[in-house]
Amino acid sequence: MEASKPKSSGLSSTGRSSGSQYLPPTPPDTDKEYADSSSEPGDTEAIIPRPGHSRSGTRKLPLYPLPPNAKSDNTVLAEDLKTPDNHVVRDPRLIRLTGIHPFNVEAPLRNLYDEGFLTTKDLHYVRNHGAVPKVDDSEIMDWEVTVEGLVDNPIRISLAQLLQDYEQLTYPITLVCAGNRRKEQNVVRKTKGFSWGAAGLSTALWTGIAIADLIRAAIPRRGARYVCFEGADKLPNGYYGTSIKLSWAMDAERGVMLAHKMNGETLPPDHGKPLRVVIPGQIGGRSVKWLKRIIITKEPSDNWYHIYDNRVLPTMIDPEMSADLPETWKDERYAIYDLNTNSATCYPAHNEELSLYGSEYIYKTRGYAYAGGGKRITRVEVTLDKGKTWTLANVSYPEDQYRLADEGETLFGGRVDISWRESSFCWCFWDLDIAISRLQAADDIMVRAMDEAMMVQPREMYWSVLGMMNNPWFRIVIHKEGHKLRFEHPTQPALIPGGWMERVKKAGGNLMNGYWGEQLTGEAEAVKPVETAKEICMTNSKVDRIFTLEELKGHDGDTEPWFVVNGEVYDGTGFLEGHPGGPTSIIGAAGQDASEEFLAIHSENAKAMLVDYHIGTLDKTSQSLLSADSEIEDAPPRDVFLDHKVWRKAILLAKTSVSPDTKIFTFNLDHADQAVGLPVGQHLMMRLRDPVTREAILRAYTPLSPSGARGKLDVLVKIYRDTPMQKGGRMTQALDSIPLGHFVDFRGPVGKFEYLGRGLCTVSGHERRVRRFIMVCGGSGITPVFAVLRAVLADREDPTSCLVLDGNRTEEDILCKADLDAILVDNGHRYRVKYVLSQPGPSWNGGRGRIDKDLVYREVGPCQSTDGKDIVLVCGPKPLEESVLSIFTEMGWKKDDMVFF
């Protein structure tokens, strides 16, 4: 039903102090609306008298900052024109952290600090997991959000109704990405996250409603404990979503809100237009953008992005281990909610130079600090001797100026008064005047902050697999260079080189030795050289031709297919016949950037073979455009689902267990009448992505669905789980871990074999007439075999005979046995099946042992491959395939008569 209720603040001042203990700094005597370039962020730089008071009066009035002017000349940038974000206006000063797309950026630290307490939309950091949903201005007021789940009164409400029926609030809130300062961890050891610098935070005035008012109208049921949020951004693993505790959402002191304005304007597309959650004091990843659903639940969210993002796993878990620990990821003890205490130095800036012979004798060091969960920063300390002695810095709290607004005062349509609130949800600024002579005598400047719970920044880094919540002392190195000092920050964001941490590491220093990489006595002898993995050369050093995107796209057809790997151009024409996956694998990559797929599924030998097909390099501009163009694009539903050039999404509908380690995964296609589009005997590629790094996980599968299936797709998957002896399957465990309702990417068909019917097939594009199929399989290798067998036996006029040799460990490992036995009833003259178990139970009456030479001789009979009318189809574990190849070759079969799926 639609929500309609009287306006109510949802806030109570009962028992709250007046806020008098949070007095702001004394405003400057001059009366100005916006600061000049010399103003400090701690000053009241964008100030306005409270309504009802004269500017010319002599009485000192409490004032609060207003947003600085945003730029008016921003446009859609050239880098975004070929991406799904080609409708979003952006500032070119922002530093891109994940290439062109998706858009993840921070401002240069100096620029962010210079804007002051409030950040414009131009320089506010952005964390996007995928494409920005496009919402036209005409659609804003009709945007709807639902409140559902464990509620007695489910709600569907438009933004227009939220504005009409609920009181609007305007609060200053600092949002911080949990990855802020992650580059420091990546320099020590690569995490699974991209490299944020120290500007992954921003502050804005957010206008919206208290989320508690809306949830209260929905009437949560007994047992409800969590609030789950889901956005409209369609991603590789579903819609982005997460959750917080219901008690937090209902607590006015925590200030959780649904915001529709940022700094007095409609939300920009990158920041959630037209509606988002804003959760003060918690990591930015909880503040879901483009909000569509609010779900009240008993348990935390099961959304992929809630589970596999925004966590601090134990430090001993490395990136390789983390891929195989689904239960660890689901452990809520490792989930991040409240921010931790952190600080950074903004001035001196990186590579800033200070003359020793100027007229100034004092240098003002400056920076920011913040805490989490509403806690207040109570001290900032600076050391020039590596922590032996500390000096208290001055701290200013511009947020406190809003506490002195008059009762009922509004700003941008929302009540701005926060006098009743004890919590602090914004960054503060620190400064300390230091004599230049002291800087000249020091090796570094370090800063640490403490909050009101006496939580202080640690000296050492806590490295973790996602690189989040990095907050050790912020250290700036001082270099003495002639008559000047030069300052060096720890890192620079993204792939920008520079910083003392990179320099120390390149010199062989141990960044985790407790002394910031400085060599200790005897350390050199104790450090062992680190073996680096041998890099496979995939390019021909004699090739120096440069290609344009237009030239590459001229070879995107079935003949002379060119493709790109790591910016290099390859001509796949010469390998169309020999490619194990058939020519369609190469043709499907023609004219595209195939780096992700090639590197994810090919061996070192295959990578080395690329040298022979290397013909040149794609120019830099074309590389950027091609990379952006390779993203999945939304497209209208088609008659056929699969496309051999474009990844298509399907929604996971169900998981059905068929054995202790095997499940059928059922996917919904775009519409009920959509054909799968997979020829008999061919495969499709499935792709999942690591939710943080976006690294692709790809595998080929043959579905159980018949070739004429429509609307749904069934894929049989044997799940290889970790054991104490070895790691399990990366794809199968990842697939098993995703919840229902999430997306998986599909592309195809691929494969060199296709059965056309009535004894006619093609192998690597050449037609063959078949008298008999000998089908050898094991485990989930039954799926391509079963697809061909089913097609043969479905046609009573098909004269082809089939022999299936199915080898497994135990009886429960035999997949599709009921189907294999059922079709035997009416087809005994054309079809035989022989099951063999290596670990049979006492009641097993079938074959025992393995598929060996004796079994093959006995069941297959003399070699009849000389006339090319018999074909062996093989699919199973690598040892099985190697054994079959050896046995049949020894029997006189030609390799051309054997097809390994």
In a domain, 728, yes or no: yes
Domain boundary, last residue among 728, 749, 770: 749
* Same-domain status, 761 and 714: no
* pLDDT of 38 higher than 80: no
* pLDDT of 93 higher than 60: yes
Specify the 3-state DSSP secondary structure of 247: helix
> How many CA atoms lie less than 13 Å away from 217 in the CB half-sphere?
24
| Residues 352/498, Cβ–Cβ less than 8 Å | no
User: What is the band of 766 on the pLDDT scale with cuts at 50, 70, 90?
Assistant: confident
586-626 pLDDT, tens digit per residue, is 766 677 777 766 665 566 666 778 888 898 888 887 776 67
Sign of the torsion angle spanned by Cα atoms 746, 749, 753, 759: positive
* Same-domain status, 493 and 366: yes
* pLDDT of 61 higher than 70: no
* Same-domain status, 481 and 374: yes
Burial of 812 (0-12, 13-18, 19+ CB in 10 A): middle
414-466 pLDDT, tens digit per residue, is 999 899 999 999 999 999 999 999 999 999 999 999 999 999 999 999 999 99
What residues contact 761, with CB distance under 8 A and at least 6 apart?
681, 753, 754, 755, 767, 768, 770, 871
Give the pLDDT of residue 825.
83
Give the pLDDT of residue 791.
93
Specify the 3-state DSSP secondary structure of 708: coil
Domain boundary, last residue among 602, 629, 656: 629
* Same-domain status, 488 and 357: yes
| Three-state DSSP string of 548-568 | CHHHHHCCCCCCCCEEEECCE
Task: Supply the range of the domain harboring residue 554.
Answer: 546-629
Give the pLDDT of residue 610.
82
* Same-domain status, 740 and 777: no
Phi, psi of 383 (to 5 degrees): -125, 145
In a domain, 637, yes or no: no
> How many CA atoms lie less than 13 Å away from 51 in the CB half-sphere?
9
* Same-domain status, 763 and 895: yes
* pLDDT of 728 higher than 50: yes
CATH code, domain with 558? 3.10.120.10
**How many domains does one find in the chain?**
4
In a domain, 70, yes or no: no
In the chain, the percentage of residues whose pLDDT exceeds 90 is 56
Domain boundary, last residue among 749, 770, 795: 749
- The pTM for the full model equals 0.66
* Same-domain status, 861 and 883: yes
Give the pLDDT of residue 601.
59
Give the pLDDT of residue 628.
47
Q: β-strands 353-355, 64-65: how paired?
A: unpaired
CATH code, domain with 354? 2.60.40.650
Which carries the bigger pLDDT value, residue 457 or residue 882?
457
In a domain, 354, yes or no: yes
| Residues 788/702, Cβ–Cβ less than 8 Å | no
User: What is the band of 551 on the pLDDT scale with cuts at 50, 70, 90?
Assistant: confident
- What average pLDDT does the structure give for the chain? 85
* Same-domain status, 802 and 866: yes
Please spell the DSSP secondary structure of 65-88, one letter per residue.
E-PPPPPS--B--GGGTTSTTTT-
Give the pLDDT of residue 835.
95
List the catalytic residues: 177, 309-310
Give the pLDDT of residue 63.
81
User: What is the band of 840 on the pLDDT scale with cuts at 50, 70, 90?
Assistant: very high
* pLDDT of 217 higher than 90: yes
CATH code, domain with 739? 2.40.30.10
| Residues 400/63, Cβ–Cβ less than 8 Å | no
333-345 pLDDT, tens digit per residue, is 999 999 999 999 9
* pLDDT of 229 higher than 50: yes
In a domain, 255, yes or no: no
Which carries the bigger pLDDT value, residue 38 or residue 184?
184
177 is in an annotated binding site: yes
* Same-domain status, 731 and 814: no
* pLDDT of 126 higher than 90: yes
* Same-domain status, 782 and 867: yes
In a domain, 244, yes or no: no
100-122 pLDDT, tens digit per residue, is 888 999 999 999 999 999 999 99
In a domain, 819, yes or no: yes
CATH code, domain with 833? 3.40.50.80
481-495, 603-617, 645-659: least confidently modelled range: 603-617
Give the pLDDT of residue 621.
77
* Same-domain status, 676 and 585: no
Strands (E), 672-742: 683-689, 696-701, 712-718
In a domain, 180, yes or no: no
* Same-domain status, 744 and 760: no
